[in-house]
Chains A and B, each alone.
Chain A
Amino acid sequence: MDILNTPRDTDIGVHVGRRTIAILSEANRRAEWAKFMSDSSSTQEEIGITKQDLRGALDAVDVWVEANSGAINQALPVVARSGLTNKQKDRLFLQVVQRRFEVA
C-alpha cells in the first residue's frame, strides 16, 4: 500500500459520551509518523520494524485513544471531570504520559 500518497481526509468526529472527539486526519497522522522517524534518525535510535508497520502502530494508538477517551474521562474525580475543560483534561493526560516516558 502506498501510504505516502493516501488522499487526505478531514477529521472524523465521534461522540463519546457527551464529548465529540476527533480521530486524527490522514494529514495529521502522516505528520506524526514522519516526525517520529525524523526524531529517531536524529539520535540514530534503532527501529526494528518497517515504516509501514510503524504507521500501523501510530494509527492503532490513535484509535485506542479515541476508543478509550470516555473511560479516561470517567476515571477522573468528579470535581475534575466537571470542572476542567476538555483541553485541560487532554493536557493533563499528555503531561502524565510525557512524565512517565521521561522517568522510565
Chain B
Amino acid sequence: MASGDTLLIFTPLHNEPPTSDPATLDLRNNHPVLDFDAATNESAIFSAVMPRSYAGGGLTVSLHYAMSSAISGDIDWDVALERIGDQQLDIDTDSFAAVNSVDNTTVPATSGFVDVVTVIFTDGADMDSIAVGEAFRLKVIRDAAADTATGDAELLRVEVKET
C-alpha cells in the first residue's frame, strides 16, 4: 500500500456510542446516518486494528456528511485517535490524543448534498503513536459550540487513508 490508499472505512453502523452526548443513529431515505446535534457537542467512536499495509505516512481522515436542514452557515469537525495496542492502554480509562480539526466549512446549499472534508494526522504522537497491527479507536466530534449551521449534521461515512 502507498500514499493515498484507503486503509479503513466506517459507516454509521460501526459506531460505538459514547455514554455521554452520543451522536444518534438515524435513517435518511434509508441511508443510515449519525445525527450530531446543533446545540450540544456530540461524538461517535469507531474501533479498528491498524492494517499491516500502513507504511507510516500519517493518516488522512475523510468525513462524509450532510446537513439535515441547514443550507447556510458553517460546520466544525474534530477527530481524535486513541492507541490501545499491546499492553499500551488500560482500557478502563479513555486516552484520546488531542483533536485535529477541520473548521469553518461552508455547508452545502442543498441540505441533502453530501460534502467531504478531511482531517490530517502526522505519523507519531499526533495519531497517538498507533503502529501497524495495533487496536485503536477513532472519535469524531461535531464542534457545535463553535460552528454556525443550524440543525443536525449527519455523518454517512468515515474513510481513513494513508496520507
Q: Which residues of A contact B (CB under 8 A)?
A: 2, 4-5, 30, 33-34, 37-38, 40-52, 54
- Residues from chain B with Cβ under 8 Å of A41 in the complex: 35, 38, 68-69, 151-152
A46–B39 touching, CB < 8 Å: no
Say whether A44 contacts B112, CB under 8 Å: yes
B119, chain A: closest CB distance, angstroms: 22
Interface size on B, residues (CB 8 A): 22
Judge if B104 is at the interface, Cβ distance under 8 Å.
no
Chain A residues contacting B72 (CB-CB under 8 Å) are 47-50
B68–A44 touching, CB < 8 Å: yes
Quick check: A40 and B145 within 8 Å, CB to CB?
Answer: no
B residues within 8 A CB of A48? 71-72
B10 to chain A, nearest CB (A): 22
Assess whether A5 is in contact with B150, with CB atoms less than 8 Å apart. Answer: no
A44 & B111 in contact (Cβ 8 Å cutoff): yes
Complex Cα distance A51/B72, Å?
10
Task: Say yes or no: B144 contacts A4, CB within 8 Å.
Answer: yes
Nearest chain-B residue to A31 (Cβ)? B39
Q: A40-B151, A50-B72 are in contact. List 7 more A-B contacts (CB 8 A).
A: A4-B40, A4-B145, A41-B68, A43-B69, A44-B68, A48-B71, A49-B72
- Hey, what's the 0/1 contact readout for B49-74 against A, CB within 8 Å counting as 1? 00000000000000000001111110
Which B residue sits closest to A49, measured CB to CB? B72
Question: Taking the complex as formed, is B148 at the interface, i.e. its CB lies under 8 A from any CB of chain A?
Answer: yes
Given contacts A4-B39, A46-B69, A48-B71, contact A37 B112 (CB under 8 A): no
List B contacts of A4 (CB < 8 A): 39-40, 144-145
Contacting residues, chain A, for B162 (C-beta < 8 A):
none
Q: Which chain A residue shows the least CB distance to B72?
A: A48
**In the complex, which residues of chain B have a beta carbon less than 8 angstroms from the beta carbon of A49?**
72-73, 150
Closest chain B CB from A26 CB (angstroms):
13
Interface centre among A33, A40, A46 (most CB of B within 10 A): A46
- On chain B, the residues within 8 Å of A45 by CB distance are 69
